Copies of this chain bind each other. A is one copy, B any other.
Amino acid sequence: MAIHNRRIVLAARPSGVVTSDCFRLEDQQLPDLEEGQLLVRNHYMSLDPYMRGRMDDAKSYAAPQALGQTMQGATVGIVEQSRNAQFAVGDHVVGMFGWQHYGVSDGKAIAKIDASKIPMSAFVGVMGMPGATAWYGLNRIIDPKPGETIVVSAASGAVGAVVGQLAKFKGCRVVGVAGGAEKCRVVVDAFGFDACIDYKAGRLYEDLAAATPDGIDGNFENVGGPVLDAVLRRMNGFGRIAVCGLIAGYNGEDIALKSTRSILVNRLKVQGFIISEHMTDWPKAHAEIGQAIIDGKLHYKETIAQGLEQAPEAFIGLLKGKNLGKQLVKLV
């Protein structure tokens, strides 16, 4: 009973901006399961900014995505066949099956989820890597105190929206930075930030200063470049900056920082992190986020592309900031 699989592989590395030429759709027949294996039909796949870094053949924290191989990434789906005693047909599981319809696993590196109270798609978003990322950077690096001012860039994104809401729970003043009036409206109205700066409006520093009258104590940075430079100029003494992403420079753009003096003058701690290196914190993060979702206190948005074939375009849009909230591809 052979399975017809469809997948997207990395066809060519980008030079600068990612284009559709970088990807290639392929069909393949999967062999029958061996003893111990199971077959998962992926229902949603995650698109994330970190994937851009792996498309380059450059030194980074993760090995480069191999040419000709399935694009890597998180997926959530349902077991369709199982020759593994730990998994039954119908089980909901998260895995790293990448950009394809099906995944075959030996039962390792996948996990069952309870999708009865929280929708399946959330498990590659707020209940997945992005949620853990938000929780870790906020709690382990910024460690915010009530009354402090926290600035979050890419505030409408999958990570930023969670950072801001968790910081609000802790009694902070939370200011977002996002691209465009609509995103800023969502950040304030749907996610409950105190203010949101539209970095495309051309008054980045002035608007940030007006929204942070008491300066900035913590910054969750997803963007870098001019956004981070403006934040540096507003930092208070002993401020903490969690560097989660530098999407402003992912295509090779200049992300130089001018206001480095602030690191010394304000005794800042600037710390980069990669969430996959802090797996022990994931359960705590997801327990807290999951309960807040069930309680109706934490909200999230999804931008969903329909069908595997739309993944390249959706990914290119993600890198340009066209998504609102978590960017997913719906496969079933």
Any B CB within 8 A of the CB of A261:
yes
Residues 229-270 of chain A, each 1 if its beta carbon lies under 8 Å from chain B, else 0? 000000001000001111001000011111011011111111
A108-146 contacts to B, CB under 8 A, are none
Scoring A243, A260, A261, A266 by chain B CB atoms within 10 A of each residue's CB, the highest score goes to A260
Any B CB within 8 A of the CB of A224:
yes
Which segment, of A177-185, A272-280, A284-292, faces chain B? A272-280
Chain B residues with CB under 8 Å of A261's CB are 224, 246, 249, 255
Chain B residues with CB under 8 Å of A255's CB are 260-261
Chain B residues with CB under 8 Å of A61's CB are 237, 265-267
Any B CB within 8 A of the CB of A310:
no
Residue of B whose beta carbon sits closest to that of A265: B60
CA gap between A228 and B270 in the complex, in Å: 15
Other-chain residue from B237, B256, B274 in contact with A258 (beta carbon distance below 8 A): B256
Chain B residues with CB under 8 Å of A228's CB are 260
Residue of B whose beta carbon sits closest to that of A221: B264
CA gap between A68 and B249 in the complex, in Å: 48
Any B CB within 8 A of the CB of A19:
no
Other-chain residue from B243, B254, B257, B268 in contact with A272 (beta carbon distance below 8 A): B268
Any B CB within 8 A of the CB of A271:
yes
Chain B nearest CB, measured from A152 CB (Å)? 16
Other-chain residue from B243, B254, B265 in contact with A264 (beta carbon distance below 8 A): B243
CA gap between A30 and B271 in the complex, in Å: 51
Q: Which A positions have Cβ atoms within 8 angstroms of B?
A: 53, 59-61, 224, 228, 237, 243-246, 249, 254-258, 260-261, 263-274, 277
Closest 5 CB pairs of A and B: A264-B272, A270-B270, A263-B272, A269-B271, A267-B272
